[in-house]
Amino acid sequence: MWRVFIIFCAIVIQTLFVAKNTIASNEQNILTLQTATKLAIQKNPDLAQVRARAEALAAVPSQLGTLPDPEISIRAMNLPVNTFNTNQEPMTQIGPAISQQIPFPGKLSLRAEAASFEAGAAFENVIEARSWLLRHVKHRWWQIFYLDHALEIVENNQLLLRQFIQVARTKYEVGKGLQQDILLAQLELSGLLDQQLILKNTRQNTVAQLNALLGKAANKPIRLPKKIDETLPALRTEQTLYEQAESYRAILAAKRKSIDAAQARLDLAKKDYYPDFNVGAFYGFRRDQQNGIDRSDFLSLNLSMHVPIFLHRKQAKAVDQRNSELMQQKYALEDEWNNVRKQISQSYHDYQRAREQMILFKTGIIPQARQTVASMLAGYQVSQVDFLNLVRSQISLLSHELKYWNAFTEANQALAQLTAVVGKEDIYE
């Protein structure tokens, strides 16, 4: 007896342990929104390549701001061409030479400055790419969240329609119902099965898109939490969001740095009106080996410069080019700022609309629709309500529940869009 009891306790403990591990494993496999955003930042290859490009550009300024490498050579001067004998003529010299190119003062610093601004713009583009990556991740995550709830609602309505079919069949068998009621319910059930297939296919496609953003295989399954906080916060004013975007939006900062880089390149083009220099030195060893006479060595110095004789066709045109590029960057900033404000306004009003819709469905339409279905079902069971009206009321409830979750999803997607456009998470009152 005691042996049986011990075996039974061991089985129970093992079952509880397995169940606990299963629950823990399922919880670990649930992909929360926070986890999804962290994975995207760590694993997304597109963001990684944008970051790598910015790091590469960061190494450019010091290269452009440094003098060109000096040139070292070995020279032979005044060699007799009849014998090429280095001891034949006293003026023959052999020795090392060195030369150094020196740009006009200010050119190196302007080149480094332009490259530094370009590198700064590239790092701002990394922040911008990160913001839009998170926006896409959140958008896909919320879409899957909606599809999960839509599938659950459709499956529940399939169960209800099967119950309706059973009630209609029972009434028909006792002579109190119509066969067309059964056929109507079966038709609506088929419609829900078709809707379920579409929702499942859409979910699979969206899961593949989210996995790609997370740097995972497209067919890796994704499970989301079933319940989350459905509270939607109030936003700051539209004008406040404009002001935040002007200060925090990375794309605007990148455009400003591009303007600074274009200005530096324009200043550099104006510096090309002035010549670059080249200085050099040559030390010539000479010795008369035939007569045993030591002669003095020679030191030769050299100074040369570039002469901009094609000023109007070359340097002046370069200045015109850089000036036009500067204006292009200024217009690009103005256009981007207009686009940012447009996106803020659109996302702001999309969120407000979806938030109000959600409140309306949750507090008004859905409770009323449920009461209507309950009343219709009770009336149909006592033959006081037409079956068609009962089915229509249930389908209407299904539509309202789907619209509720769709509004909730659109509100959160609008928040993700708004956060990316403003460039800051703190957009709430």
Distance CA 361, CA 358 (A): 5
**pLDDT score of 376:** 75
What is the pTM assigned to this prediction? 0.79
CA angle 158, 160, 165 (to 5 degrees): 95
**pLDDT score of 353:** 92
Distance CA 359, CA 233 (A): 12
The whole-angstrom distance between residue 142's C-alpha and the CA centroid of its chain comes to: 16
Distance CA 339, CA 128 (A): 15
Distance CA 255, CA 125 (A): 9
**pLDDT score of 134:** 93
**pLDDT score of 26:** 45
**pLDDT score of 367:** 84
* Predicted confidence pLDDT, tens digits, the chain (429 residues): 444 335 434 444 454 444 444 344 444 588 888 898 999 998 888 999 999 999 999 999 999 999 999 999 988 888 888 887 777 777 888 889 999 999 999 999 999 999 999 999 999 999 999 999 999 999 999 999 999 998 888 888 777 777 766 766 666 666 665 666 667 767 777 777 888 898 889 899 999 999 999 888 888 888 988 888 888 888 889 899 999 999 999 999 999 999 999 999 999 999 999 999 999 999 888 776 566 567 788 888 999 998 888 888 888 998 999 999 999 999 999 999 999 999 999 999 999 999 998 898 888 888 888 888 778 777 766 666 666 777 777 788 888 888 888 899 999 999 999 999 998 888 887
**pLDDT score of 167:** 66
For every residue of the chain, which 3-state class applies, written as one string? CHHHHHHHHHHHHHHHHHHHHHHHHHHHHECCHHHHHHHHHHHCHHHHHHHHHHHHHHCHHHHHCCCCCCEEEEEEECCCCCCCCCCCCCCCEEEEEEEEEECCCCHHHHHHHHHHHHHHHHHHHHHHHHHHHHHHHHHHHHHHHHHHHHHHHHHHHHHHHHHHHHHHHHHHHCCCCCHHHHHHHHHHHHHHHHHHHHHHHHHHHHHHHHHHHCCCCCCCCCECCCCCCCCCCCECCHHHHHHHHHHHCHHHHHHHHHHHHHHHHHHHHHHCCCCCEEEEEEEEECEECCCCEECCCEEEEEEEECCCCCCCCCHHHHHHHHHHHHHHHHHHHHHHHHHHHHHHHHHHHHHHHHHHHHHHHHHHHHHHHHHHHHHHHHHHHCCCCCHHHHHHHHHHHHHHHHHHHHHHHHHHHHHHHHHHHHCCCCCEC
Kindly report the backbone phi and psi dihedral angles of residue 26, in degrees, each rounded to the nearest multiple of 5, phi listed first: -65, -40
**pLDDT score of 10:** 46
